[in-house]
Structure 1
Amino acid sequence: MEAGLEIVAVSDLKVGMFVAEPDCPWTDLPFPLQGFVLSEPSEIATFARHCRFVYIDRSFSTGEHYRAPLRERDPPLQCAALPRTESTPELARRQSQRHSFLKFLYEQDNSEQAEELARELTHIEPRFDSLQDTLRKTIECIQIEERVDFKDVATRVSDLSGSLQRNPDALMWLLRLKSVDQYSFDQAMDVSVYLLLFGKHVGLSGDRLVQLSMAGMLQDVGKTCLPPVLLTKTDPLDEEERELVRSHVASSLELLCLQHALPPEVMMIVANHHERWDGSGYPRGLKLKEIGRGAEMAGLVDSFCAMLKNKPYRAAMGHQNALEQLFNLRDQQFNPALMEQFVQCVGLYPIGTLVEMNNGEVGVVIQQNRIQRSRPRVLLLLDGMKQKMRGYHVIDLRDPRHKAYTVLRTLPQDAYGLAAQDYYLG
């Protein structure tokens, strides 16, 4: 698959887009050309009858759908701490893997959920990428005290909110695979998406939900003001260093106060997300209802997402272990009612969770079982000797043929040397 191509669901095709490749053979289609610009709605309807998704090339598209090749464009605005290092061959390999993975989902026997996941992935992936780019630019602009268009940020967050409404698994899958290996950036994306998921679970919608997610995205922007050596220290911090780290809340508020378009609710969440239910948090030692529900939710999600990542002073935890540790802090650091809701929200084995089976094999959850939560559908990646498997090996733990299989434990996302792209296989 050539680099520069973009996956688009047939429902999102527009006149003016250049279709480079469908997900079915060109010989199945009545067109005399293989690769052309869509000029009539009837052509879109034809693709819709034969395909589920296609690859489009923006550099050959017309009108508003045109985008110049990367080599002809100015380099995109990006934060110096977040370099783009993927080469063109690497991008092409990723595109090929995604194409294979989507075909694999569509070919799953008797799995309407897998097909729905594939449809939503083709729709939301470019929008997820767009939010990542927007967040990158937003962080840089805030750092240099330049005005940010938060209406644009809110619009892109709303796109993700709509995706969660249709199929929450698609967005959570992308969250696992789209990390950029830069802790503060990945943490901001993770917290933002998990807050969308959690907010919907407890009944939030509209502006309140978008503001909650935006607060999670921005709440630790003040850490950019801290000495990098402090954030990478492996030894315990002394009292002076702890106070310096805690000052990032004030730094975040100072930076965000310069952005006059931010709603007060966002600022309140940023100010209070490190406060704790029992008064042990900072900076003001607030407790119980003094904190505010949005800030309580942001603090809980922030703690959970941080546990899933490697830190200089400890290794990442698996999903289950992180949940158990947080659950043990209910009625202490965290509101017990919200803690119960969060556990129900994220589930035992959400999609994208790396798991080790009782026979030593390792796989990734590709479908939850809403009724028997301990029996998900798993895509195996490593055999019992922890060697990579080739091709797609799926076990559905609900199937009586696999009754001997059980999930032994959840694993950190990089366990046994696995990387995000390994989840696509190839």
Structure 2
Amino acid sequence: MRESTKIHVGELRIGMYVTKLDRDWLDTPFIMQGFLIEEPEDVDIVAEYCEHVWVDSAIYKAQADVAASGIGTASQHRTQPYEYQSDLQEEHKKAYKAFRHARTITFDLLNDIRLGGSINTDVAKDTVNDVVQSIIRHPDAMLWLSKIREESTYTSDHCLNVCVLAVAFGRQLGMDASDLEKIGLCGLLHDVGKMRVPEEILNKPASLTTKEMALMKSHTVHGRNLLLQAPNVYTGTIDVAYSHHERLDGTGYPRKLQGASIARFARIIAIVDSYDAMTANRCYSGAMTSTDALKEIYANRGTQFDAELALEFIKTIGLYPPGSLVELYTGEIGFVIEANPRLRHLPKVILLLDENRREKKKQKVLDLSFIECGELSRQCLIKQVWPDGSFGLHVKTYQDQGLKLKY
């Protein structure tokens, strides 16, 4: 086991790996028990919760040597966070209209396939283009909408959500608009093969038998075959439909591919697909919180998921993604409406319930970043994330009532 060195948070530097805190991990917003300091803001976040931390001794010594020599590190030359190109409230209006249309189109597209029709690639491309344009302008609007699901339309909602998440992930990875459209199309069509799997198996509320599991796994082969027959289809969608359940360690299906044999887009969709499935209510399991799902992805990096991409996806989603139902230390409950790229633990939250769990008479958006300048009490920090539907609060219900962003 690697040795750790106890230091004051004032000694933390970019590139150091924190292994232990001076308090319980559950009392902090950190997703993983152990993390890399990548930006100056990471030090600020740690300092809000801790006075001392333990860091990997070897990395600490290397950082000290670098500091003494005056040589900078590559991590200090990271690109700036993406800038938003539109106001959130303005983007919500555009995104909601586009998302509602996309839900209808995706459901009809998959239903046509179930009934024996072919894949309408032109309609699929138009749907993805609308998603891409919205996410380029401001990803949080579409990410909020991706939390809206219904069990009766799970597969089509899942396909659209994977499209949205994949495009947001691609934006984080620095993809241009052309590649965002490609990865979005891969996300939208990754599960088309499930339209050839009997519905009683897709919707079975209990464990599948060995035979049923084999039929379920066959959706990757069906997806490949359906897309091979589709006119003017982006060829990457064929590989992703066939390979998104492969695992880096070779234990996936259908071909048990390993490592570099799995294409990059398939690795991306594998992560996004798993995250969306884990955070959804299914007929056989309840939804995980976003935090717990990211912990699963982190725990399985390097075996099930590409390790580097897994860490980048965790950054994309962040501590409190839009649509997260959170409880403040004040006891108040609300939804995260907008992430904060600079201070990831201080998003904007719509407060819906007061400290006694009663509905607030006036809903308003609280910008938690004001904690930094002392305009808000530290009691307004987020204490806990709850699954959607807790306290009778659902993203869909709130959205249907009309989004009210009053500051």
Question: Could you tell me how far apart the structure 2 residues matched to 1:289 and 1:206 are?
Answer: 25
Pair 1:232–1:141, CA change in 2 (3 A): closer
Q: Could you tell me how far 1:134 is from its partner in structure 2? A: 2.0
Partner of 2:174: 203
TM-score with structure 2 setting the length: 0.71
Partner of 1:78: none
Residue 378 (structure 2) aligned to one of 403, 406, 414: 403
Q: Could you tell me how far 1:131 is from its partner in structure 2? A: 2.0
Partner of 1:142: 113
Question: Could you tell me how far apart the structure 1 residues matched to 2:306 and 2:207 are?
Answer: 27
Partner of 2:391: 416
Residue 93 (structure 2) aligned to one of 94, 110, 122: 122
Pair 1:272–1:393, CA change in 2 (3 A): same
Question: Once the two structures are superposed, what CA deviation does each residue of 1:390-414 show, in whole Å capped at 9, x if it has no partner?
Answer: 3213333232332122212222222
The answer on 1:324 being equivalent to 2:295 is yes
Question: Could you tell me how far apart the structure 1 residues matched to 2:151 and 2:88 are?
Answer: 23
Question: Could you tell me how far apart the structure 2 residues matched to 1:375 and 1:334 are?
Answer: 28
Question: Could you tell me how far apart the structure 2 residues matched to 1:189 and 1:119 are?
Answer: 22
AA at the equivalent of 2:209 = D
AA at the equivalent of 2:138 = N
The answer on 1:347 being equivalent to 2:318 is yes
How well do the aligned residues superpose, as a CA RMSD in angstroms? 2.4
AA at the equivalent of 1:322 = A
AA at the equivalent of 2:329 = N
1:279–1:285: 8 Å Cα contact kept in structure 2? yes
Moved more, 177-186 or 400-409: 177-186
Pair 1:338–1:402, CA change in 2 (3 A): same
Partner of 2:208: 237
User: SS state of the match for residue 143, structure 2?
Assistant: helix
Q: Could you tell me how far 1:180 is from its partner in structure 2? A: 7.5
Aligned residues: 315
AA at the equivalent of 1:141 = D
1:396–1:402: 8 Å Cα contact kept in structure 2? no
User: SS state of the match for residue 147, structure 2?
Assistant: helix
Q: Could you tell me how far 1:415 is from its partner in structure 2? A: 1.8
Q: Percent identity at matched positions?
A: 31
Question: Could you tell me how far apart the structure 1 residues matched to 2:155 and 2:120 are?
Answer: 21
> Is there any run of 5+ residues in structure 2 with no aligned partner, and where?
1-82, 403-407
User: SS state of the match for residue 378, structure 1?
Assistant: strand
AA at the equivalent of 2:333 = V
The answer on 1:277 being equivalent to 2:248 is yes
The answer on 1:367 being equivalent to 2:342 is no
Question: Could you tell me how far apart the structure 2 residues matched to 1:144 and 1:247 are?
Answer: 18
The answer on 1:162 being equivalent to 2:129 is no
Pair 1:333–1:115, CA change in 2 (3 A): closer
1:188–1:216: 8 Å Cα contact kept in structure 2? yes
The answer on 1:171 being equivalent to 2:171 is no
2:354–2:360: 8 Å Cα contact kept in structure 1? yes
User: SS state of the match for residue 398, structure 1?
Assistant: helix
TM-score with structure 1 setting the length: 0.68
Q: Could you tell me how far 1:376 is from its partner in structure 2? A: 1.7
Q: Could you tell me how far 1:333 is from its partner in structure 2? A: 0.6
